[in-house]
């Protein structure tokens, strides 16, 4: 919609509180394509009196993100919004209310930046989000490149889930195990017909659309109505899907795009045309492999296994050239800007019987290039090109790394490096970026010999005892990073705790035994398998007629100190007398006695 067209009708929909929240949010998005002082003032007035939390949450989060954005395309609206105070806040729970998410950065020296923008929109008619989108944009040398945009809208998904997991659904909580057995043995036709009738009554309500754009070009758009459009009329068998996922799958995707191609021809007084051309191309590569075993996820003691890797990489190149074309010859200057990124992620996650959860993230790389940006300059004569160094005096190199402390803790080091010609002292120097080649990069380096990061969580409980464990380790590393916490609680009662770290090792044990006549309690703490602190206590009670005798005893052991012993004897005759004495040894050369 062009900005010259009146948006009064759209504003009326946005202000109408009886409209569906999803429609009102869409109206707000249309208004914000051409924001002005008047539009923002009216939006602010609506927000101050807003009663619908879905609308208020989205508008408030979007305006708040605009106030903090670094995107060069949004600086004008940012300046306008900063003058408009938001008196009412809608910072509500993210998993229940519509929201806008935005993250951005921009490096003015390099004239380079990036931003990611995402929307999640809920409707008051559903307990699930209705629509979502994510947009990734790069700002390179004065040009904004829409790298990737993915989004879609879906309606009726709640009926789909209810058909399987609702109170009357296929996967009822109390009947999951039985259904699983039937799936394995083969479900009877009558049972399958009942499931189909129950499912089909609601699956017709499922509809939506999905889209994907790369560099502004729409590569995918699909619209479906009912489940049959998604499955091409084929029936869904959950067991077949889970069985297919449990087998190792390979996936690779490589695609090249031309996202920028523009030229301007300017006549000159010399009679030769001045050509200004710019073109941009990109290559995206994704390689992935893995398997996902979910066949036992619905058991009473669920188990699952995930194993795989993902290796995405991409490259963007922008060529800009200024040349004079004399038809039989050509002469000019060319600048080539390139950006490259390559990363990988490989790991394994496993859940055993709902009690032991383990995860492993592998680190096979020695160096990972998160991203690298550089420019180069060439003189063009006819069909030949010769690289130019441009301004070489006072060339600056700056490198910043996360440091040895973080490398010792994680085994990884993150380094950023920037190289550029400092032409600020040269009076006739051209403006940036024509001063000369620039390079910037972010690199992740492995500074240890470990092969992976291992994490484990365990909780096992029965009538007699309960065990818990949380652990983290980097096997094969030169630096000890083992962290673990183990706890055992028994009904005896007995308590054992063990904590291991690169700095300290601590073990704690406590026990209580005895009956009404005699009780013993013992506690011990051992630090670094060397220093032991312990407390032992005993309490004995005897009775002879009306005479009760109590004999408590406590011994305290502290390293490098004499043991401290406290003993006492108390005699009590019911209703007549009370006598006692206390002896303390270890605090002084002579025992301390008190009667």
DSSP 294-315: -TTTTSSS--EEEEEEEEEEEE
CA dihedral of residues 223, 228, 233, 237 (deg, nearest 10): 120
Q: Are 214 and 147 in contact (CB under 8 A)?
A: yes
Please state at what angle helix 37-48 crosses helix 8-15, rounded to 10 degrees. Answer: 10
Instruction: Enumerate helices (H) and strands (E) in the chain, giving the number of each.
Output: 11, 28
Name the least confident of 131-145, 278-292, 355-369, 554-568.
Answer: 131-145
Name the least confident of 343-347, 527-531, 575-579.
Answer: 575-579
| Percent residues over pLDDT 90 in the chain | 22
Beta carbons within 10 angstroms of residue 129's beta carbon: 19
CB environment 82-116: b (16+ within 10 A), e (fewer): eeeeeeeebebeeeebbbbebebebeeebbbbbbe
The answer to whether residue 511 sits within a structural domain is yes
Rounded CA-CA distance 362/452 in Å is 4
Phi, psi dihedral angles at 244 (to 5 degrees): -65, -40
Mean pLDDT (whole number) for 8-15:
90
The tokens describing 333, both together, are 């200057």
According to the per-residue pLDDT averaged within each range, which of 181-185, 230-234, 340-344 is highest?
340-344
What rounded mean pLDDT belongs to the chain?
82
SS3 at position 372? strand
- pLDDT given at position 459: 92
- pLDDT given at position 203: 45
The answer to whether residue 290 sits within a structural domain is no
Residue 303 has pLDDT above 80, yes or no: yes
Rounded CA-CA distance 493/512 in Å is 6
The answer to whether residue 581 sits within a structural domain is yes
Categorize the per-residue pLDDT at 264 as very low, low, confident or very high, splitting at 50, 70 and 90: confident
> Residue 573 belongs to what domain range?
504-594
The answer to whether residue 576 sits within a structural domain is yes
pLDDT: which is higher, 297 or 479: 479
Residue 238 has pLDDT above 60, yes or no: no
**β-sheet bridge partners, residue 335:** 320, 377
Categorize the per-residue pLDDT at 236 as very low, low, confident or very high, splitting at 50, 70 and 90: low
For 155-192, how does the pLDDT look when each residue is reduced to its tens digit (9 = 90+)? 877 766 665 555 555 455 444 444 334 443 344 445 44
Residue 245 has pLDDT above 80, yes or no: no
The answer to whether residue 160 sits within a structural domain is no
Q: How many domains does the chain have?
A: 1
Please state the pTM of the whole predicted model: 0.58
The answer to whether residue 133 sits within a structural domain is no
For 477-502, how does the pLDDT look when each residue is reduced to its tens digit (9 = 90+)? 999 899 999 999 998 888 999 999 98
The answer to whether residue 558 sits within a structural domain is yes
Residue 33 has pLDDT above 90, yes or no: no
The answer to whether residue 574 sits within a structural domain is yes
72: closest CA among 133, 148, 150, 138? 138
The tokens describing 8, both together, are 């009064």
SS3 at position 15? helix
For 90-135, how does the pLDDT look when each residue is reduced to its tens digit (9 = 90+)? 777 778 889 999 998 888 776 778 899 999 998 877 778 889 999 9
């Amino acid at each position: 919609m062009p900005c010259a067209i009146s948006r009064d009708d759209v504003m009326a929909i946005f202000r109408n509180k009886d409209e569906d929240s999803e429609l009102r949010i869409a109206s707000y998005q249309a208004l914000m394509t051409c924001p002005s002082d008047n539009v923002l003032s009216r939006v602010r007035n609506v927000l101050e009196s807003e009663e619908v939390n879905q609308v208020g949450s989205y508008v408030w989060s979007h305006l708040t993100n605009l106030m903090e954005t670094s995107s060069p395309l949004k600086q004008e609206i940012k300046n306008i919004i900063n003058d408009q105070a938001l008196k009412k806040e809608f910072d509500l729970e993210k998993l229940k209310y519509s929201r806008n998410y935005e993250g951005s950065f921009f490096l003015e020296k390099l004239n380079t930046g990036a931003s990611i923008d995402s929307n999640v929109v809920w409707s008051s008619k559903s307990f699930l989000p209705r629509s979502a989108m994510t947009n990734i944009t790069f700002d390179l040398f004065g040009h904004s490149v829409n790298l990737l945009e993915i989004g879609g809208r879906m309606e009726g998904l709640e009926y789909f889930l209810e058909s399987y997991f609702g109170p009357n659904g296929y996967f009822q909580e109390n009947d999951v195990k039985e259904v699983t057995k039937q799936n394995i043995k083969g479900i009877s036709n009558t049972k399958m017909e009942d499931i189909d009738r129950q499912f089909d009554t609601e699956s017709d309500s499922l509809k939506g659309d999905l889209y994907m754009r790369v560099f502004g070009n729409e590569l995918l758009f699909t619209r479906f109505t009912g489940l049959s459009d998604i499955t091409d009329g084929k029936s869904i068998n959950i067991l077949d899907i889970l069985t297919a996922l449990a087998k190792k799958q390979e996936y690779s995707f490589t695609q090249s795009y031309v996202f920028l191609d523009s030229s301007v021809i300017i006549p000159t007084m010399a009679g030769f045309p001045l050509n200004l051309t710019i073109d941009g191309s990109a290559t995206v590569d994704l390689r992935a492999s893995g398997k996902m075993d979910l066949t036992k996820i619905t058991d009473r003691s669920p188990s699952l296994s995930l194993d795989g890797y993902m290796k995405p990489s991409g490259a963007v190149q922008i060529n800009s050239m200024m040349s004079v074309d004399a038809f039989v010859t050509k002469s000019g200057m060319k600048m080539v800007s390139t950006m490259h990124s390559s990363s990988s992620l490989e790991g394994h996650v496993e859940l055993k019987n709902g009690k032991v959860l383990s995860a492993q993230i592998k680190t096979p790389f020695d160096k990972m290039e998160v991203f690298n940006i550089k420019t180069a300059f060439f003189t063009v004569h006819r069909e030949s090109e010769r690289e130019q160094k441009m301004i070489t005096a006072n060339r600056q190199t700056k490198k910043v790394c996360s440091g040895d402390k973080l490398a010792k803790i994680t085994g990884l080091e993150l380094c950023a490096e920037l190289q550029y010609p400092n032409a600020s002292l040269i009076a006739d120097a051209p403006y940036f970026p024509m001063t000369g080649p620039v390079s910037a990069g972010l690199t992740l380096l492995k500074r240890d010999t470990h092969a992976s990061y291992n994490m484990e969580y365990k909780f096992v409980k029965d009538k007699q005892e309960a065990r818990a464990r949380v652990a983290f380790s980097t096997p094969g590393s030169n630096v000890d990073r083992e962290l673990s916490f183990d706890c055992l609680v028994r009904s005896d009662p007995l308590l054992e705790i063990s904590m291991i770290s690169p700095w300290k090792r601590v073990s704690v044990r406590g026990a209580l035994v005895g009956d009404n006549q005699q009780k013993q309690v013992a506690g011990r703490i051992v630090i670094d398998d060397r220093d032991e602190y312990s407390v032992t206590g005993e309490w004995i009670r005897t009775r002879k007629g009306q005479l009760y005798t109590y004999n408590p005893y406590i011994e305290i052991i502290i390293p490098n100190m004499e043991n401290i012993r406290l003993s006492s004897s108390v005699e009590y005759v019911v209703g007549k007398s009370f006598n006692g004495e206390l002896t303390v040894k270890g605090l002084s050369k002579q025992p301390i006695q008190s009667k």
